[in-house]
Every structure is written in structure tokens, then in C-alpha cells.
Amino acid sequence: MDWNHVSVLKDEALEYLAINPNGRYIDATLGLGGHTAAIAEQLESGEVIGIDADRDALSQAQARLESQTDRVRFVHANFAQLREVVEERNLESVAGILADLGVSSMELDNPERGFSFQQEGELDMRFDRETQTLTARDIVNTYREQDLVDIFREYGDEKFPGRIARIICEQRKKQEIQTTTQLAELIRSVVPGRFKDGRIHPATRVFQALRIEVNDELNVLRQFLRDAVEVLDEDGRLVVISFHSGEDRIVKNIFRELASAGHGDILTKKPIIPTEQEIAENPRSRSAKMRVFCKHQ
């Protein structure tokens, strides 16, 4: 268990949530519970509901937050089901909602989940293995070449989507691509030499793109953002931390639409980013961007 898991932009998120000790909050992406724990510490009669699609994450967060269970509730759901979660608990509204869109270190570091090219595992990448059927292995071995190109370009900002899609399609004719390391080595074999050993592994963007496609993350995010603002109290705050340019663009644009329609104000003129010290202590935070919306009726 990684009890030293570091939550990205934790202090900044708490500052913008402006915690009311008696308020009700939702951590829509519980993970290992770092943000939830920080919110719970500031509560008196209030509570925080932690939502996660991953049962493994839920069980580990429950163990981590055992001393705070009087202020924390745990819910197995995708954050696109936010409205259902609120309705099932007969909540009229909540004071604040936080969503950290990054993949938890627990998921990345578990080879069985297939999120990482650092260790060999089957190409899976599903957040919820109970209800989701599409896997990264399915995508790599069955999608048309042009569809792979589009996914790698749009979801991964990949520089060489055509080369990579082509080699995947050539390889799968000979043998199914089954594991993370198989795919990573295949990608590495076709990128230009100067990109093979850079600071970022050449498979990084493709793995990100596959994860987003497997979990339909961008459509889920659009649904979540609109529902989240609806269930907030007057002056309630929505804090979103993204790690990918496509995610950040969606957050920025939907916040602008909501503000233009008179539903509230954007509190962050520019996204909040980690300090150099935070990046040094937690390299996974380097691409994080936080945006905040405050609702008005």
C-alpha cells in the first residue's frame, strides 16, 4: 500500500473549495483518498462523499481513511453518475465538488491493470472491470488503422500517429498484441531516433490515448461538468484538476459556456499549476492544471 501517495495541488484545491466545516462535499475521483482526507480534516458536522469507479481504489481508500469514517462516505460509481449518487442519497445540493482527473499511482503501478508500459501486463486499462467490457487490447487488435490514427492524435497529441498505427496493424496480422511491453516496444521501434530515449517515453502518449478511449473519458467529463454545476449550492464551487490538453480544453470551454449563460463565475483566469517544488517532489504533477467555477443561481 502506497500510504505516501501525494495528492496533486492539494493545498490549492482546499483553498478554492473554501471548506465550510458543516458543509457537504463530493470528491468525484476518490483514488487513494488524499484529497478526501484533507477535506475531512476540516469538517465538523459536515461530510465528504468519495466516488470511484475502481473497487480496488475504494477498498484501499477506506483502509487509509479508517479514522475519518464518521465524516466520509464511499460510493462505487463513475463520476458521470454524479446526479444519480446525489439523488439516491436525497441530497438537495452540495457545497463543493472536486475532480482530479489523473490516474492514481495505485492503478499505474499495478501491472495487472495494464495502464503502464513500465511493467509487463495485459493491455486492459478499464477503470471499472466489473461493468466495462472494452479493453485496450480490443482497441489495438480490432480498430481500423485510421481510427487508431485519430485516437492517437486527438487523445494523445501523438507526433507520429500514422507510423504507430501502421506498425500496430502490420504486427497484429502476424500475432495479436496482448501486453503492455509488447506495445511499448513496437512504438519505440518506429519513432525517430531522437525520440527513443527522451525525457518522456515514446509510448506515453499512445497509452494515454488508449486509456481515454477505453473509459470514454472526454464524454464522461462533459457529462460530469454540467451535472456538477447543477447539484451545487448557491456559491458552491467546482474544482477540476486535469492532466491532458483535451481535458483542460473541455473544462475551460464548458466553464466559459456556463459563465456566459449566467450560471456563475470562473475563479481562475488562468489555470493553477504546480510549483517547481511540487513537481520536484511529485513528477507526475508536472502537467496538472486546475480550474475553478463558482455557481450562482
Mean confidence (pLDDT) of the chain? 92
> What pLDDT is stored for residue 230 in this prediction?
95
In the predicted structure, residue 294 carries a pLDDT above the cut 90: yes
In the predicted structure, residue 199 carries a pLDDT above the cut 80: no
Confidence band (pLDDT; 50, 70, 90) for 4? very low
Nearest to 23 by CA among 9, 5, 44: 44
Over the stretch 65-123, which tens digit does the pLDDT of each residue have? 988 889 999 999 999 999 999 999 888 889 999 999 987 767 777 888 999 998 899 99
Over the stretch 22-41, which tens digit does the pLDDT of each residue have? 999 999 999 889 999 999 99
Percentage of the chain lying above the pLDDT 90 cut? 76
Over the stretch 145-189, which tens digit does the pLDDT of each residue have? 999 999 999 999 999 999 999 999 999 999 999 999 999 999 999
Sign of the alpha-carbon dihedral angle for 218, 220, 221, 223: positive
Over the stretch 86-100, which tens digit does the pLDDT of each residue have? 999 888 889 999 999
Burial profile 167-187: b = 16 or more Cβ within 10 angstroms, e = fewer: bbeebeeeeebbbbbbbbebb
Q: What is d(CA 288, CA 196) in angstroms, rounded to the nearest whole number?
A: 24
Q: Which CATH class is domain 133-214?
A: mainly alpha
List the domain boundaries for the chain: 10-106+217-295, 133-214
Q: What is d(CA 172, CA 122) in angstroms, rounded to the nearest whole number?
A: 15
10-106+217-295 fold: Rossmann fold (3.40.50)
Average pLDDT over residues 214-223: 94
Q: Which residues have a Cβ under 8 Å from the Cβ of 204 and sit 6 or more positions away?
A: 117
In the predicted structure, residue 191 carries a pLDDT above the cut 80: yes
In the predicted structure, residue 3 carries a pLDDT above the cut 60: no
The bridge status of strand 94-100 relative to strand 232-242 is parallel
Confidence band (pLDDT; 50, 70, 90) for 47? very high
> What pLDDT is stored for residue 1 in this prediction?
39
> What pLDDT is stored for residue 5 in this prediction?
55
CB 25 within 8 A of CB 19: yes
What string of H, E and C letters represents the secondary structure of the chain? CCCCCCCCCHHHHHHHHCCCCCCEEEECCCCCCHHHHHHHHCCCCCEEEEEECCHHHHHHHHHHCHHHCCCEEEEECCHHHHHHHHHHCCCCCEEEEEEECCCCHHHHHCHHHCCCCCCCCECCCCCCCCCCCCCHHHHHHHCCHHHHHHHHHHHHCCCCHHHHHHHHHHHHHHCCCCEHHHHHHHHHHHCCHHHCCCCCCCCHHHHHHHHHHHCCHHHHHHHHHHHHHHHEEEEEEEEEEECCHHHHHHHHHHHHHHHHCCCEEECCCCCECCCHHHHHHCHHHCCCEEEEEEECC
In the predicted structure, residue 263 carries a pLDDT above the cut 60: yes
Burial profile 105-136: b = 16 or more Cβ within 10 angstroms, e = fewer: bbbbeebebbbbbeeebebbbbbeeeebeebb
Q: Identify which has the larger pLDDT, 214 or 107.
A: 214
Average pLDDT over residues 46-59: 92
End-to-end CA distance of the chain: 43
Burial of residue 26 (CB within 10 Å: 0-12, 13-18, 19+) is buried
Average pLDDT over residues 128-153: 96
Q: What is d(CA 41, CA 19) in angstroms, rounded to the nearest whole number?
A: 10
